Amino acid sequence: MTICKYWYFTSVLCLFSINLAASSDLSSHSTTENKTIEIKDKQIITSELIHSSGEEIFSNNHTVSQQYQIAKGWVTDIANNVQGIQYLDKLAELYFTVGYSQVWQDQIAMAEFEDQLYLLSLTKVSPDLTRRYHNLKRYRKSDDWRYYDVLATDTLFAYMGFIEAVQKKGNLWLFGDIPPTILPLPSDGFIDKLLTSHEQQRLRNFIAKLKPFDNEYTELVTALNKLNEIKDTRWPVFLFKGNIHPGQYVNNIEGVVTVLETLGDMTALEAKKVRTQKRKYLTGPVLLAVKRFQQRHGLKSDGVIGAHTQQWLALNIKERIRLLALNAQRMRLWSVKPDTGIVVNIPSYHMDLWLGGERVLGSKVIVGRPSRQTPMIDSDIQSVVFNPYWNVPHSIMKKDIMPKVRINRNYLSSNNYEVLKGWENAQKIAINSIPYYLLSPNRFPYRLRQKPGKKNALGVFKFNFPNSQAIYLHDTASRFLFEKHDRALSSGCIRVEQAKNLAKILLEYSGSSEERFNHLSESKKTRTIVLGNSKNVPVDLIYQTAWVDELGLVNYRSDIYQYDRDQGNNSSLISAYNY
């Protein structure tokens, strides 16, 4: 049994004092043995419980075992009349432990729990929890309190199991993977906290703590609730032809104005003025509102209503609500505004550095292209490498470099690559000594390393943090790529535009002087500077496609890796993305 043993000690006297024959809710006859259970000496049983191990409680004490069978029969009878109950054994343990008392008596706890389930149902991530939410709303009106109570407790187990599971490493339920039909049970320790809260009559506090307490989560939910108030708004249908540039005629300008006004990019007064004057061209307040709309959606803020802007305009309220709900759940995994740490938001192509609650650096970044995605990782920056060598990963060597070498043997030497015997042997191999037939992606037996210098792919700075996928932050020699708007271009690692400033701030944070940093930067030697355990800076590579910024505006970003898919119909937000 998984219920903590001390719960049996504290509840058993209460349980045994129940007059089973007189109870209207619990039969005094076991449904499995069809005979009356009589408790003659509760003191002896209590003493046996106190001196028994958790496993012995049910295996060695026949009377308590019979009582448990009654509890299971009681739960089973209810489950036969209530749709969706799954965890019969765990429910029997819990209700046996609490003496068949009503768990859900606090109306505030019930409302809070249903609100959290509703928000999760909007994501369409778990069909099981969505069905449970609707069933709870239905059974709340039942004349028999047991129906709602047992279903709510069973649903709480499922919800707690979901919360624990999504926080495990590698679990991608919030990023496209489909949860199992029956969600895992929560851990014993989690259930113990539930029982403690029930005993102390603090269930509402326990339920409230099941949601993220970050301000970012609250802001997203607030924005979601505002959209929910207008969720049935009829959304315009757009039939754009080609790009619409500033000053040009807009065929359905009324629809554009409706979207801009509804989403807050245009004031009601501005919208009324445009309608009154019957403007048909992309000028004045309409143009300014389009630029604001583009900026919030991570688009180039040029006022041109191109393909991406058109598709974001077409994304209706209900789909936006789902997007906000999904990203709110992702706040269980990270914070976009940590007290101290580096946050790289992959779909926004942006990095922020926070120290002591203050944002001290922001930078454009380049992330992995869809075919070589940057993984979501949380770790700690442990060292900064000046003038790094680049040890070329096997996949990049095979797919990107060797095909070029096959065409031009001089490619390696002209780009400062060294050929080494292997990963365990740094012996250098002369490039010209390698037979041509080995210069093949599938036959090349050596490894490649690029020397420091202007052509080095890592640039001047590399930032190391432990992870199993050989991912790191680094500078780059191809700085022109930061001028691109869509920057999912790398092979998985993150290129940082402000790499020099990042290195300087990290070294100063770890106690190094500005003079030392300048000396290391000017030197051509490869040096690794360890920050020290007390000065390691957390780094989170996150995937957040919606959040609320410092101005209180909702920002959206394109789903570059297709993680926002609706698992129910296996489709992405096709009205918003064009890939």
Rounded Cα distance, 6 and 3, in Å? 9
Contact by Cβ (8 Å): 346, 353: no
Residue 317: half-sphere exposure toward Cβ, Cα within 13 Å: 21
Q: Given a cut of 90, is residue 108 above it in pLDDT?
A: yes
Q: What is the mean pLDDT of residues 119-125?
A: 96
pLDDT value, residue 223: 97
Q: What's the Cα-to-Cα distance from 419 to each of 280, 426, 567, rounded to whole Å?
A: 64, 9, 46
Closest CA to 502 of 544, 548, 539: 539
Contact by Cβ (8 Å): 557, 361: no
1-15, 32-46, 296-310, 360-374: least confidently modelled range: 32-46
34: phi then psi, degrees, rounded to nearest 5: 55, 45
Q: Given a cut of 50, is residue 12 above it in pLDDT?
A: no
pLDDT value, residue 7: 44
Q: What is residue 344's DSSP assignment?
A: E
Pairing, β 473-474 against β 494-496: parallel
pLDDT value, residue 456: 93
Q: What band does 441 get if pLDDT is binned at 50, 70 and 90?
A: confident
Q: What is the mean pLDDT of residues 289-297?
A: 98
Rounded Cα distance, 339 and 214, in Å? 12
Q: What is the mean pLDDT of residues 247-270?
A: 95
Both tokens assigned to 122:
């909007």
SS3 (DSSP) at 141: coil
What end-to-end distance do the CA atoms of the chain give, in Å? 52
* More reliable by pLDDT, 204 or 99: 204
Q: What is residue 218's DSSP assignment?
A: H
What percent of the chain has pLDDT above 90?
A: 70
* Contacts with 393 (C-beta within 8 Å, 6 or more apart), sequence order: 470, 491
Query: What would you report as the CA-atom Rg of the chain, rounded to the nearest whole angstrom?
Result: 31
Of the CATH numbers 3.40.50.300, 1.10.10.10, 1.20.1560.10, 2.40.440.10, which one belongs to the domain with range 341-388+454-543? 2.40.440.10
Q: What is the mean pLDDT of residues 248-259?
A: 94
Q: What is the mean pLDDT of residues 529-540?
A: 90
Name the β-bridge partners of 345. 350, 542
Rounded Cα distance, 307 and 311, in Å? 6
pLDDT value, residue 35: 32
What percent of the chain has pLDDT above 70?
A: 87
pTM: 0.85
Q: What is the mean pLDDT of residues 549-556?
A: 94
Rounded Cα distance, 502 and 342, in Å? 10
Q: What band does 171 get if pLDDT is binned at 50, 70 and 90?
A: confident
Q: pLDDT by residue (tens digit) across 371-383?
A: 999 999 999 999 9
Q: What is the mean pLDDT of residues 547-563?
A: 95
Q: pLDDT by residue (tens digit) across 401-423?
A: 999 988 888 899 899 999 998 88
Q: Given a cut of 60, is residue 471 above it in pLDDT?
A: yes
* More reliable by pLDDT, 29 or 226: 226
Contact by Cβ (8 Å): 577, 564: no
Q: What is the mean pLDDT of residues 35-40?
A: 30
For the chain, domain boundaries: 5-97, 107-208, 253-315, 341-388+454-543, 391-450
Q: Given a cut of 90, is residue 170 above it in pLDDT?
A: no
Q: Which amino acid is at 149?
A: D
